[in-house]
Amino acid sequence: MCGRFNLIATSDTIIEHFRLKRLPKYRTDFNIPPGQKILNIVQLEDGSNKSVYLHWGLIPSWSKDTKIANRLINARAETLADKPSFRSAYSKRRCLIPATGFYEWQQTETGKQPYHVHFPDNRLFAFAGLWEHWENSNETIYSCTIITCPALAPVSDIHERMPVIINLENYGDWLNKQTLEIDVLAFDQTFSYQQMELTPISQHVNNPVHNDEACIQPIQIAH
């Protein structure tokens, strides 16, 4: 799964990378947990990209309440076309979720060891995501989820699943509103993940309140 990530790129870098006209109020974030609004890139009717903040934890339009969001922070790539929670969004409401790294925990004999998964230069990339619109008589919520797939190396060394990364050259294909049928697993994951590093970090990141550079500070672990 993907339950925590970071976005520490500059606003200018994000605007250029995703070919945006502007960026909403933005600040770098070293420790992004589910349940809050996160930056998303969606496609407008004219084909241009727009950045928006959506609640991380999908709420299907048919849901009776918002509690389901806690269970839908991730969507399994293998069942997107079949699951009622994701089927409609998969064909009509795809998005990109900007990130510079994500966190995963490896179970060890002494407890869970956190790792920062990132490119060597902490460069910007994007998760594959889906978004939804939900409303009742009192409120309207736009929400999103991060798509995951079976883990490849090096992530498979510490966990069985990983977030799907969409490569820069495939952004347009993934966001294209005219394409109703698409296979997210057809996008090459190997190229991106072979370049990524697994950096052991301290337990500081475990507390989602902590939001500083110490979250990604490397540590030495005993072997």
Q: Give the closest residue to 35 by CA, choosing from 140, 181, 116, 143.
A: 143
Q: What is the CA radius of gyration of the chain?
A: 17
Which residue type, as a one-letter code, is found at position 29?
D
Contact 2, 74 (CB under 8 A): yes
Residues annotated as part of the active site:
2, 104
Burial environment of residue 23 by CB neighbours within 10 A (0 to 12, 13 to 18, 19 or more):
middle
Q: 1 is written with which tokens?
A: 């799964």
Alpha carbon distance 96, 145 (integer Å): 10
